[in-house]
Amino acid sequence: MAQIVCVLGNKGGTGKTTLSHMISHGMALLGKRVVCVLTDLERERLSKENRLYLPFDARDAGNLAKVVATLNDVGDWFGVIDGGGNRSDTDSHLANLADLVLLPFRDSHEDMRTVLRDLEWMPRAWGLPSQWPADPAAHRMAQAATDELLGAFGHRLLDPIPHLAATKLLLQDRIPATLPWQLTNACVELAMQVFELLDIQYESPEAFAAPR
């Protein structure tokens, strides 16, 4: 049976689509076969060209059922499902299918209050700090807000994904043949966190070591 990761959350713009592609790209770089599943009715499907993973259009509920059934039949694939924001009914359906649920949030109180509710609502889900500031002062403020609002859930938060302009390249219809190493590293580090939560072995990232 394939493993299914769902990136969900009852809030728009937190980075669900970007993170779904980052996880898919990172998993592929770590030697896995991955399908990145689009469920958001407001978005277009993206081209396979130059991608190491397969983008799949499941905006139609029938297609979602098909891809999940196919993933359940094959052993060595991973499915990363990008949830559509603000659709609690879809999110709870997707959460039930998932081996792992990730809930991205940015460093705003509004996002944190929303993810707090989602973490309470989905007891097996993990919070994923997204678009996190790199500037030291802003980073300290973001950490202080996280401690204040999400302190009770600190054990269910992953390492932050940095704010990185290059992430938008993954959302282009056709991505460039080569991607900046900062993006590659962020994708691999995220995929490694996901594999650790799923207890999955992966190829050593040294195989494509990028400058740090």
Residue 184 binding ligand ATP, by CB under 6 A: no
If the CB atoms of residues 105 and 195 are measured against Mg ion, the closer one turns out to be 105
Residue 15 binding ligand ATP, by CB under 6 A: yes
| Segment near ligand ATP (CB under 6 A); pick from 30-38, 57-65, 147-155, 166-174 | 166-174
Residue 163 binding ligand ATP, by CB under 6 A: yes
| Segment near ligand ATP (CB under 6 A); pick from 11-19, 64-72, 152-160, 189-197 | 11-19
Residue 13 binding ligand ATP, by CB under 6 A: yes
Q: List CB contacts of 67: < 8 A, sequence separation 6 or more.
A: 35, 37, 56, 58, 79
Q: 179 is written with which tokens?
A: 């991607």
Which residue in this structure is represented by tokens 């600190």?
154
As measured in angstroms, the least distance from the Cβ of 21 to Mg ion is 10
Q: 55 is written with which tokens?
A: 């983008």
Each residue 59-88 as x (binds ligand ATP by CB under 6 A) or -, in order, gives --------------------------x---
User: Is 30 within 8 Å of 191 (Cβ atoms)?
Assistant: yes
Distance in angstroms (rounded) separating the CA atoms of residues 129 and 125:
13
